[in-house]
C-alpha cells in the first residue's frame, strides 16, 4: 500500500509520478524501495487518470461504510431482545448440554 500512497501523494501535490520520486518518498518513510514493485506500479498507472479513478472509487466506499454503520445498532438490538426471553434455568441447561 505504501507504493500506492506515494503515487497518490505525488499526484496530490501536482508532481509527476515517476520512479525517482516514488523512491524518495519511500526512503523518507523508512521503507526500502523495491524497484520491481515501483516499475509495476508505474506500468499500472500508465494512461490512468488518477482524478477519475479516485472519484469513481469514492462513491461505493462511502455508501458501504454508511450502510455498515447503520446496520450494527439494529443487529445489537435484535440480539438483546432474544436474550431477555430466556430464564437463568434455560441458559444453564443449555450450557450443561455442551459439557455432558
Spatial CA neighbour of 27 closest among 2, 60, 54, 59: 2
- Domains in the chain: boundaries: 2-82
Which CATH number is associated with domain 2-82?
A: 1.10.10.1410
Residue 55: the pLDDT is: 87
Residue 41: the pLDDT is: 94
- pTM, rounded to two decimals: 0.56
Contact 41, 7 (CB under 8 A): yes
Residue 95: the pLDDT is: 56
pLDDT band, residue 94 (cuts 50/70/90): low
In this predicted structure, the answer to whether residue 2 has a pLDDT above a threshold of 60 is yes
**Structure confidence by residue, pLDDT tens digits, 6-65:** 999 999 999 999 999 999 999 999 999 999 999 999 999 999 999 998 888 866 555 555
Query: Which 8-state DSSP code applies to residue 13?
Result: T
Higher pLDDT, residue 94 or 24: 24
Amino acid at each position: 500500500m505504501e507504493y500506492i500512497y506515494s503515487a497518490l501523494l505525488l499526484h496530490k501535490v501536482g508532481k509527476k509520478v515517476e520512479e525517482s520520486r516514488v523512491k524518495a518518498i519511500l526512503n523518507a518513510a523508512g521503507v526500502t524501495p523495491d524497484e520491481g514493485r515501483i516499475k509495476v506500479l508505474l506500468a499500472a498507472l500508465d494512461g490512468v487518470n488518477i482524478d477519475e479513478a479516485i472519484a469513481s472509487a469514492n462513491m461505493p466506499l462511502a455508501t458501504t461504510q454508511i450502510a455498515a454503520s447503520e446496520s450494527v445498532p439494529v443487529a445489537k438490538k435484535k440480539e438483546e431482545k432474544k436474550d431477555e426471553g430466556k430464564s437463568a434455568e434455560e441458559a444453564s441447561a443449555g450450557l450443561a448440554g455442551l459439557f455432558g
